[in-house]
Amino acid sequence: MYVNDRAIVARQKGKPPKPAPAPPKPAPAPPKPAPAPPKPVPAPGTGQNVVPLPYKKKPRPTNAYNVCDFEGYTCLDDVVPGDLPKNSPISVAPISKRSSTRKPFTVILASGALELASKPYWSSGELFDDTKNGKLNLKEAWIDFAKDSMSDYKVKLFSSKPPQPARPALPHDYITEHIVELQSIPRFIEALTQTKTGKNKDPISLTVGKVDSKWFNEWWNKDVQAKIDSRTPTFTGYKNSNDAARKDKTLNNIVFEAMGSTRNVKDFLLCEDSINSYKAKLWANEAPFDETDWKRIAKFAATGQLPSNEHLSGVRTVLAVYEYMNTPEVTKRMQQTIKNVKTELSNVKHLTDNKLPKNDQKADVDLSVAWIDFMNKQLDRFLKRGSDWLRDMIKHGLTEYEKALEVLEKEQKAITAENAEKDPKKKKILQDKRIIARNKAIKAIEDKEKNLATATTLMNNAKSDLQAAEKIIDAITDDVQKDKAKITQKYDAKQTALTKAKGKLTTAKKQMGKAERELVKYDDALLRLEIEALQKDIDILKAFDTARKGLKMSKAE
């Protein structure tokens, strides 16, 4: 065994051994590296892949739009029978309790106020329903559009209720139609007396000249019942009432009986609501739709804020009015009504003991001759009013559509130039910039889609609720009960709800349409489709203008 002598000696001397040397200190830790700088976001065109978001745009609607659904426009209804614009110069007597509940309209002649009141007649829900009309057993006649297309203005005469659109679309409304509007009678008197009113600032001038208005104050509502049954001829099919309280006893009674009533029904038919409403306004020498408002609709349609089928359907409906009036069966019934009134006016001499009205030349006036003169001029005016409106509104519409088309074609040229760019880097910059804008537009659409769906449901529900209430009210024949039912069914409140729903839907459509048109600018495929659609709309408007130039009207007899 090896022994360290030095260590033994040292211990023997009392000295401790030297400690072993300390291990070397570890090297200090290296400093932490500085954090890496953030990676720069590459600019478009430097390699970044911008992924386009998916989006499926609904096809351009080509079906017809019901113009009664326009915001601010109310079509006529006959829950209480009527075929008149709200500002028409005539009121409609209700079906029951006629003598006690009439609300005659007052025409202010130079010689004093003159009251007129129409006869009661069957509403659309009663006219062909023998359980409600005393078994009239009438041959049904319905007028509606032949096709549900925004470009087709042709109408068709149906022998039963026309086929209705599939759900979720709501069924059409129909109105008992006086083909010769009731407003024609006060207009005739205003023409004879050259009476200007706020609603008739330009009365028709008649060949007979101006007639003394005093005669109408004296004779129009004078009781001549003693001579009623002995007058001859009466219009074909005339029947006086069996109820002594309702027997005809005035000139007003027999003239409006000739126009149509619950007894005189053979010239009535049921007309689709929008056609009837536009026709009533045109007959009153009014625009079918306010021109300022219509120009706004044309601009909204051209710029994509409203579907173009809404604008085109309005023009279509005006054309349909004249198609309707020139349907042979309608022309026949119109001329028969005119003849009926002429017949009764020829009895004035008998009813007044030869006291005929006189013109400004102090000559006796044959009202039956003056009536035909008036009706021919009324039909000419009716045609001109519609033709002029169509001419001006189509011209304005074409201007708006062509202006919008130029904007889209400019956007298309930009995309074409982008695709033709030879420099890959520049091309990528352009493409990325466009795709980013497209994606932003798509994200902006999402909430607007939801709002539109909600507003559409609200509108359909409001309209359905009102139609259901109308159906219940229309089934009641007694007017007192009708009025009670209107309260029970909250009819006025439902009309108000529908008006509000129209406004909300229009706002939602415009917001959605504007957002989609913004998107289209950045999507090559959608842009091409949009341009193609605008070109088709322009072609339809041009075809409508060609049809306008061929409009005509039959004569009074």
**Lowest-pLDDT range, 40-54, 257-271, 393-407, 468-482?**
40-54
- Checking if the pLDDT of 4 tops 50, the result is no
pLDDT value at residue 277 = 96
Task: Name the average pLDDT for the chain.
Answer: 89
Q: Is residue 22 part of a domain?
A: no
Closest CA to 314 of 64, 542, 71: 64
Residue 14 in any domain: the answer is no
d(CA 481, CA 320): 36
**Cα–Cα distance between 368 and 235 in angstroms, integer?**
13
Residue 60 φ/ψ, nearest 5 degrees = -60, 125
In a domain, 42, yes or no: no
- Longest C-alpha distance within the chain, in Å? 175
Domain presence at residue 430: yes
Per-residue pLDDT band at 101 (split at 50, 70, 90) = very low
Domain containing residue 351: 67-549
**Domain count within the chain:** 1
Give me the pLDDT at residue 471, please.
Answer: 84
- Structural domain includes residue 205: yes
What are 263-320's pLDDT values in tens digits? 999 999 999 999 999 999 999 999 999 999 999 999 999 999 999 999 999 999 999 9
The residues pairing with 359 across neighbouring beta strands, listed in sequence order, are: 211
Per-residue confidence at 46, pLDDT binned at 50, 70, 90?
A: very low
Q: Are strands 112-116 and 174-177 parallel, antiparallel or unpaired?
A: unpaired
48 CB-near residues (< 8 Å, 6+ apart): 41, 42, 432
Q: What is the pTM of this model?
A: 0.86
Q: What 3-state class would DSSP assign to 392?
A: helix
User: So what's the pLDDT on residue 483?
Assistant: 81
How confident is the model over 459-511, as pLDDT tens digits? 999 999 998 988 888 777 777 887 888 888 898 899 999 999 999 999 999 99
Tell me whether residue 3 is in a domain.
Answer: no
| 443 occurs within a structural domain | yes
- Banded model confidence at residue 102, pLDDT cuts 50, 70, 90: very low
33 within a domain of the structure (yes/no): no
